[in-house]
């Protein structure tokens, strides 16, 4: 087990080194994610100004911006990229190169994906720290430190769920030959339920509850970190994530075994 972890760390490190090798690309990635967050903040500041309200369904402007910012932070961990890698490597046949290596293909690709996304994650953290220091979020909510501490496992859980879901969708390419259609459906679902378009605090309660309970929504619970009812829901959030991680992990392992038997690459 330790040997396996050290292999994943080695892959992660070298992919991270590769991501930073072309510095301008890495800086571009950082700037893209940072700008995305800043633009979202400006957009919502404009909306609150137009509606002339300090809060909407109990969500103040700083909380709404932080909610979308946290979704952006979650998404720059690159979970959806794992789908593209698996699907493209299956279609192009590159997958065969990695199948007889001494570490599991999916794990290898997850380590690769995380390593590649370090510039984006760094950019996002920096932009987040700047926003945090210069925004009103500190005065708009209570128990900031405790929220952040409780949010870390939620973020990790969400990232794990995302990697599991997208790995499953990626592996389905072995049967579907190209799983982009499934990916697109799920991708939009996770974006809506994660609150990339509208903070999920604005959703009707029943819709929010359903959204939070399915894997796509459970992955993005971190976006509710600064919501007033965050602590009331925290135990339910943790439980939902643990249940889905277990179900998705078991499903992925079973699917992976079936894929081994079913796999054909390049007519062979």
Partner 1 sequence: MSLILHAEDLSKSFRYQKREKGWFKSTAVMVDAVQSINLSIERGERVAFVGPNGAGKSTTIKMLSGILTPSSGELSVCGFNPTKDRRKLSYRIGCVFGQRSQLLPNLPLKDSLELFGHMYDMTPQQIKTRSDQLIDIFSLSEFIDQPVRQLSLGQRMRGEIAASLMHKPEIIFLDEPTIGLDVIAKRDLRKTLIALNEQEKTTIFLTSHDTADIESLSQRLVVIDHGKIIIDAPTKDVQKTYLNKKHFKIDYTTDISGLALPFQGIKAVGQSIEGTIDTSVQNINDVLHQLLNIALVEDIHLFDEELEDIIIDIYKSSGQGKP
* Binding-site ranges for partner 1 (CB under 8 A): 3, 6-7, 10-11, 14-15, 17-18, 21-22, 93-94, 96-103, 260-261, 263-268
**CA 195/CA 84 separation, integer angstroms:** 22
- Which residue(s) pair with 56 in the sheet? 59
Looking at the Cβ atoms of 102 and 204, the one nearer to partner 1 is: 102
**What's the closest the beta carbon of residue 192 comes to partner 1, in angstroms?**
29
Cα separation of 167 and 159, whole Å?
Answer: 12
Q: Smallest distance from the beta carbon of 262 to partner 1, in angstroms?
A: 9
Please, what is the minimum distance in Å from the beta carbon of residue 46 to partner 1? Answer: 40
Nearer to partner 1, 20 or 238 (CB): 20
Q: How far is the CB of 54 from partner 1 (least distance, A)?
A: 48
**Dist CA 134 CA 37 (whole Å):** 14
Nearer to partner 1 (CB atom), residue 101 or residue 188:
101
Q: Two tokens at 157?
A: 């859980």
C-alpha–C-alpha distance, residues 150 and 71, integer Å: 16
Beta carbon nearer to partner 1, 57 or 257: 257
Nearer to partner 1, 97 or 156 (CB): 97
Q: Please, what is the minimum distance in Å from the beta carbon of residue 176 to partner 1?
A: 11
In the complex with partner 1, the residue whose CB is nearer, 13 or 188, is 13
> Are 56 and 202 a contacting pair, CB within 8 Å?
yes
Smallest CA-to-CA distance from 87 within 162, 230, 155, 183 is with 183
DSSP letter for each residue of 165-232: HHHHHHHTHHHHS--HHHHHHHHHHHHHHHTSSS-GGGS-HHHHHHHHHSHHHHTTGGGGTTSTTHHH
Write down the least CB distance from residue 105 to partner 1, Å.
Answer: 10
């Amino acid at each position: 087990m330790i040997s396996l972890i050290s292999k994943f760390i080695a892959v992660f490190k070298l992919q991270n080194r590769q991501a930073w090798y072309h510095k301008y690309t890495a800086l571009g990635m950082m700037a893209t994610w940072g700008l995305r967050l800043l633009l979202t903040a400006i957009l919502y500041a404009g909306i609150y100004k137009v509606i002339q309200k300090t809060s909407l369904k109990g969500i103040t402007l700083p909380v709404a911006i932080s909610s979308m910012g946290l979704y952006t932070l979650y998404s720059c961990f690159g979970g959806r990229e794992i789908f593209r890698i698996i699907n493209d490597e299956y279609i192009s046949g590159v997958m065969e190169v990695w199948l007889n290596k001494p570490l599991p293909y999916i794990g290898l690709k997850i380590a690769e994906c995380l390593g590649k996304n370090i510039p984006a994650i760094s950019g996002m953290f920096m932009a987040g720290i700047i926003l945090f220091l210069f925004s009103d979020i500190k005065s708009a909510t209570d128990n900031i430190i405790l929220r952040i501490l409780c949010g870390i496992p939620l973020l990790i859980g969400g990232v794990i769920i995302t990697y599991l879901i997208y790995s499953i969708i990626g592996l389905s390419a072995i049967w579907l030959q190209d799983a982009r259609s499934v990916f697109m459906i799920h991708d939009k679902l996770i974006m809506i339920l994660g609150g990339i378009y509208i903070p999920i605090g604005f959703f009707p309660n029943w819709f929010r509850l359903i959204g939070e309970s399915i894997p796509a929504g459970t992955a993005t619970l971190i976006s509710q970190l600064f919501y007033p009812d965050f602590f009331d829901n925290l135990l339910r959030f943790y439980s939902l994530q643990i249940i889905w991680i277990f179900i998705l992990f078991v499903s992925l392992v079973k699917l992976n075994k079936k894929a081994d038997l079913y796999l054909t690459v390049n007519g062979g």
